[in-house]
Amino acid sequence: MAGSANPPGPEPPPAAPSGGAVPAARPLPGAARSRAASPGRRPSPRVAQLKRTAYFFRQNTLAMAGLVVILFFLIIALVAPFYPGPNESLTIYCGSYYPGSTGNSSGICNTVCTYALGGTPPGPNCYAVPAEEPSLLAPTVSLRPLSIGSFPLGSLTEVPSGNLFYNTATGLIKGAPWSLSISIAIVGSGALIGLLLGALAGYLGGLTDEVIMRFTDIFLSIPALLLVLVVLSVAGQLGGFTSTLYGRLAILIGAFVVTWWPFYTRIVRGQVLVTREQKYIEAAKASGARPGRVLVRHIIPNSVYPVLVQFSLDVGTIPIYLGTIIYLGYPIWPTALFPEWGTITAKAVSQEFVSAQVLLCQISTSCTFPWWQILFPGLTVFLFAIAVNFLSDGLRDALDPRLRR
């Protein structure tokens, strides 16, 4: 927030008087008056408006909490590249298999070894799965200290191939930049396309409006998750560039953009239809502004706030969607364990992982279900979504004069 360092004064400006039916109609009468009184102090009504919005935003405790959580995640994402990665010199191997297994890769590990890459395995029983842990069967599950790194993330059946595993904490930290950037890229491109098309449809009207909105209707009637899945499964067959990491990312973003633009188009069109009837648009036209200038300078800046609110709401759902797709078994990433929050959550509750744990619990006399591997990634995804929810609520309240109290 640009105005956060500079409070707008002790007296909060009054809410827009009656006639402020349009959210965020600018400039506010109050701003215009104060500028007339002291011309030098407030250079631009937009800055004044921004300060006013920031003031109302800061009054909202939940929104500020959401902002703090988002900032926390952003900081983690920024320092993540400097965080020590998964220990490359440690590989996790099966020590021995549970009785009855033939010992091939389809077996379930009874014990797990870690040893330096290139070294020799220390022995068949180097790291036994802790047998002294209390069982979940017990009526009280004793919550032990948070040792979120002690189990490899992923299916134990994958172990003999010598895969590199993230532990949960490392995965979450390393996943922050990926999750945030993927979410913003996906929703941002969808919002941009929707903004342009919606502004065109609302401003030009007529045939353009009709064509664009019919397309919107078509896309809106396909359930979003299904369309993403269909596009992904078709694109996955193409091969070549699409099998690399950046190719996969491009496909993923493309699949979501195809799904997401109609929502924004509809929102922006509705907003533009209201905005273009305003007096200041008439004034701009009367003073000889060309349609393109009216659209870009006047209509889009004044219709962009609902997009901002929806954008911040949608960013939080992307890890949930990605996790859902991963849980359904569709391989989005070129590697099995990509550090992305939704993916980590989905892997932690995936069928193969849980069934491996169940088998472990059945063959050992007592065991602990690795709840921390579900709790912490799930909590991260949940917190992210709920923080952006609060943030977008606060933004809407601060931007819409009718909702200010």
Residues that bind another protein (CB under 8 A): 135-137, 214-215, 217-227, 229-238, 316-317, 319-320, 323-324, 327-331, 342, 345-346, 349, 351, 354-355, 358-359, 361-362, 369, 374, 378, 381-383, 385-386, 389-390
Which of 125, 233 has the CB closer to another protein?
233
Residues 6+ apart with CB under 8 A from 60: 393, 394, 397, 398
Which of 28, 314 has the CB closer to another protein?
314
Residue 167: which of 389, 393, 377, 391 has the closest Cα? 377
Which of 225, 296 has the CB closer to another protein?
225
Residue 27: which of 10, 43, 49 has the closest Cα? 49
Tokens of 294: 């009216």
Q: How far is the CB of 265 from another protein (least distance, A)?
A: 15
Which of 2, 234 has the CB closer to another protein?
234
Q: How far is the CB of 111 from another protein (least distance, A)?
A: 20
Residues 6+ apart with CB under 8 A from 351: none
For the stretch 256-276, what's the b/e string if a residue is b when 16 or more beta carbons lie within 10 angstroms of its beta carbon? Answer: bbbbbbbbbbbbbbebbbebb
Q: How far is the CB of 384 from another protein (least distance, A)?
A: 8
CA angle, 306 then 58 then 63, to 5°: 55
- Strand partners for 91: 115
Tokens of 260: 């997401």
CA distance 154 to 376: 15
Q: How far is the CB of 135 from another protein (least distance, A)?
A: 8
Which of 207, 286 has the CB closer to another protein?
207
Q: How far is the CB of 231 from another protein (least distance, A)?
A: 7
Which of 152, 378 has the CB closer to another protein?
378
Do 94 and 121 touch, CB atoms closer than 8 A? no
Which of 8, 319 has the CB closer to another protein?
319
CA angle, 184 then 299 then 208, to 5°: 85
CA distance 384 to 366: 35
For residue 216, the one-letter residue type is: T
Q: How far is the CB of 225 from another protein (least distance, A)?
A: 4
